[in-house]
Amino acid sequence: MSEQQQEPWQWSDAHWQKIVAQARAGKKLAPRIWPNGARCAIALSFDSDHDTNELREGGQSIGRLSQGQYGNLQGIPRILDILSHANVPASFFVPAVTALLYPDEQQRISELGHEIALHGWIHERNSVLPLEAERDLMLRSSDVLEKVSGKRPVGIRTPSWDFSPNTLALICEMGLLYDSSLMADVDCYELLMDGKATGVVELPVEWIRDDAVYFNMNRFAGLRPQISPADVFDIFKREFDAAYEEGGLFQLTMHPHVIGYRSRIWILKELIAYMQAKENVWFATHADIVRYVKANHA
Ligand SMILES: [Zn+2]
């Protein structure tokens, strides 16, 4: 019987060690000080899933597609207004299908100085793809984002933060600077593949710092928001407060079709105002933070 067919308690040490070693946290990349003497770095990100939220599973619901289009019509403009008013940059992770549906949105984001980075083709799950399909989709997505935004992306956030056994090797093959889909630390770190340093920087995410887990709803299943927008604000604020105390990194993931509602968008506005009221914070794109920690880690 092959080890794949065995129960986990029957696996040899070599088998589970190989599984664990596929993508591992290596050298910690935490600088002693941030640019201009800042105490804390702030990486705001928006995953512009829009209609791919429905299309990814083969869904064709016109109602749910309209919820996706809300991300373009209402979510993105509200977010960009707040970012522009506060004069802070952010990173937008954009599936290629979103970019093809809404090229004007990506051009505007890019012109405002924000970063556009990879987020799959149609929000597919990498872990169910054959190697050749995963490579093809990553390369074609890069081409689409470059064509639409005018810049070749340097980073990736895998859709649903889902890694296949080939994802890290493909990130290396494409020469990407960073990934932002894994969760091993609060600070940036270098990714190891089978024990070897890759040079790829991980800017870690966490579901705790993601709006979707608190606000997602499924009309025909039991999934409903369980806590109020004020409670979500409190969680994000506490995550920032601790990052500020520790002199570290505060990373946040939001979705235009989730946060961009009248009863929720204030979370972003008030959080930015709260963080800006502190002395010495550095708002930057994921790419700029990664470049800085690569050159300045302790
Ligand atoms: Zn997504």
pLDDT at 4 over 80: no
CA distance 64 to 203: 31
d(CA 104, ligand 1 centre) in Å: 20
CA distance 144 to 140: 6
d(CA 161, ligand 1 centre) in Å: 8
Range 31-42 average pLDDT: 95
Q: Tens digit of pLDDT for each residue in 146-165? A: 999 999 999 999 999 999 99
pLDDT at 219 over 90: no
Q: Tens digit of pLDDT for each residue in 104-159? A: 999 999 999 999 999 999 999 999 999 999 999 999 999 999 999 999 999 999 99
How confident is the model at residue 26, as a pLDDT?
97
Residue 237, amino acid: K
Q: Locate all alpha helices (DSSP H) within the chain, ordered by sequence.
A: 13-20, 52-55, 62-70, 76-86, 96-101, 103-111, 131-149, 167-173, 211-215, 229-246, 256-259, 266-277, 286-296
**Separation in Å, CA 214 to CA 57, 59, 105, 157, 220:** 21, 23, 26, 20, 18
d(CA 11, ligand 1 centre) in Å: 34
Q: Is residue 142 within 8 Å of 120, Cβ to Cβ?
A: no
CA distance 263 to 229: 8
Q: Tens digit of pLDDT for each residue in 37-46? A: 999 999 999 9
Residue 125 class from Cβ within 10 Å (0-12 exposed, 13-18 middle, 19+ buried)? middle
d(CA 160, ligand 1 centre) in Å: 5
How confident is the model at residue 2, as a pLDDT?
79
d(CA 97, ligand 1 centre) in Å: 12
Q: What is the mean pLDDT of the chain?
A: 97
